[in-house]
Structure formats: structure tokens, C-alpha cells
């Protein structure tokens, strides 16, 4: 995968600092709007460029955080505006439809904790932001937690690129492995939560109680 972006990184490394910063900000923003954009990879490379002295690490972290948070809130606004029509299969076709089911379960279960963790949930960020908007989660709290999440995540991965220098591509390799592991754990956890909810509903139905359905609003 890195070989396919080698020309892009060579181009970015040749940019003046101001345009490298602009590129970093735009890609950090765009990753949330168009998930195929490899935002994390570029942030790691920005950290590597900071290690070379071409950029400042603090500015790399700041712009990556701002771009990520603004991108998240853009998709939140789309979800807020569209409401349940976000789930229409004819809309936002580049996003994985099954991801919405997972995001809804996570938000019902963990509320704003999912927003705080979104940057660590590789492959689900855009779906989480859209779902948060669809559920009309409080804007100020959502903006705060998505910014904190972006700051911590981009700080970690940009510093990793800064620290390992020429071996920055190893960080990207580990990030991809991390993403697969996290996604597997989350899917298994979602299946377990779904099975527990179904079992409780069946049990309550059998005893004449309510159906034990999930809450109508996230916490």
C-alpha cells in the first residue's frame, strides 16, 4: 500500500513548509468525509518530516487535530440534517452500511464515550460522526470529545513518526494491524452485546415483563 503512495510522499516532502501544513490539514479533514483518504498515514509522515526539521511537531499535531475535529463535526452536521434518512442505502454509498448498525449499538451502550474513542476505532470514524448527528447528540459535548480524541490520537501517531525517523512506514504497518485487531474485537463485542440483549428480551417476554429493548436515546 505504501508503494502506491510513494510519489505522493515524495511530492509532500518537496513542498515548502506552509504548503505541507495546508496539505496535512486538508487530508486530516478529508479523511473523515471520504474515509478512503489515508489520513493517519499522512499524519505519521508529517511527524517524520518534523523529525527531519522540515516541519514543527507541535504544528503538525495542532493542524491534524483541527482537521480531524472539523471533519468529524462536518459529518455530524450531515447526520444531524438528514436524520434517519442517513440510513437510506441510496445516500452516502461510499460508507459501509453495516457500520451504522454497530455505531448505533455502541452509542446506545456507551454514549459520549464512543465519541471520545472514535479516533481509535479505525474504519468507523465517519459512521460514528454521522450516527451521532442522526441521534442529535449535544453539539458542544460532541465537539469537545471528538477534539480530545483527535488530539490524543494524532499526538501519538505523529510523535511515533517523529521518533522512528526513516522507519516511519513501520508505524503505518502497525496501525493497519491495530485497525484489523480493533475491528475484530469490536465486531465480536457487538455480537456479544446483541446476543445478551436478545436473550434478556426473550427472558422478559417469557416472564411477562417489557421487551428489554435498547434505550431510545444515547446517554
- Average of per-residue pLDDT across 178-186: 56
What are the grid coordinates assigned to 85, written together? 434518512
Which span out of 29-33, 96-100, 147-151, 212-216 was modeled with the highest average pLDDT?
147-151
**Residue keyed to cell 513542498:** 15
pLDDT at 193: 58
Helices marked H in the chain: 6-14, 17-33, 39-51, 57-82, 97-110, 112-117, 125-134, 139-164, 168-206
Whether residue 214 has pLDDT greater than 50: no
- In angstroms, the CA 57 to CA 62 distance is 9
How much of the chain exceeds pLDDT 90, in percent? Answer: 26
Q: Which residues contact 202 (CB under 8 A, 6 or more apart)?
A: none
Q: Where are the domains of the chain?
A: 3-206
- In angstroms, the CA 216 to CA 79 distance is 17
Amino acid at each position: 500500500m505504501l508503494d502506491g503512495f510513494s510519489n505522493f510522499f515524495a511530492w509532500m516532502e518537496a513542498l515548502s513548509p506552509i504548503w505541507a501544513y495546508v496539505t496535512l490539514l486538508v487530508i486530516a479533514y478529508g479523511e473523515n468525509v471520504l474515509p478512503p483518504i489515508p489520513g493517519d498515514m499522512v499524519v505519521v509522515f508529517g511527524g517524520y518530516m518534523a523529525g527531519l526539521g522540515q516541519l514543527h511537531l507541535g504544528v503538525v499535531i495542532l493542524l491534524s487535530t483541527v482537521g480531524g475535529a472539523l471533519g468529524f463535526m462536518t459529518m455530524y452536521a450531515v447526520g444531524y440534517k438528514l436524520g434517519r434518512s442517513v440510513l437510506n442505502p441510496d445516500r452516502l454509498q461510499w460508507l459501509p452500511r453495516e457500520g451504522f448498525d454497530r455505531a448505533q449499538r455502541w452509542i446506545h451502550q456507551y454514549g459520549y464515550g464512543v465519541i471520545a474513542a472514535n479516533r481509535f476505532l479505525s474504519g468507523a470514524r465517519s459512521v460514528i460522526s454521522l450516527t451521532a448527528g442522526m441521534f442529535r447528540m449535544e453539539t458542544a459535548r460532541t465537539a469537545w470529545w471528538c477534539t480530545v480524541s483527535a488530539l490524543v490520537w494524532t499526538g501519538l501517531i505523529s510523535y511515533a513518526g517523529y521518533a522512528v525517523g526513516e522507519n516511519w512506514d513501520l508505524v503505518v504497518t502497525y496501525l493497519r494491524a491495530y485497525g484489523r485487531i480493533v475491528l475484530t474485537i469490536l465486531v465480536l463485542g457487538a455480537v456479544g452485546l446483541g446476543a445478551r440483549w436478545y436473550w434478556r428480551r426473550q427472558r422478559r417476554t417469557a416472564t411477562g415483563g417489557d421487551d428489554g429493548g435498547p434505550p431510545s436515546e444515547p446517554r
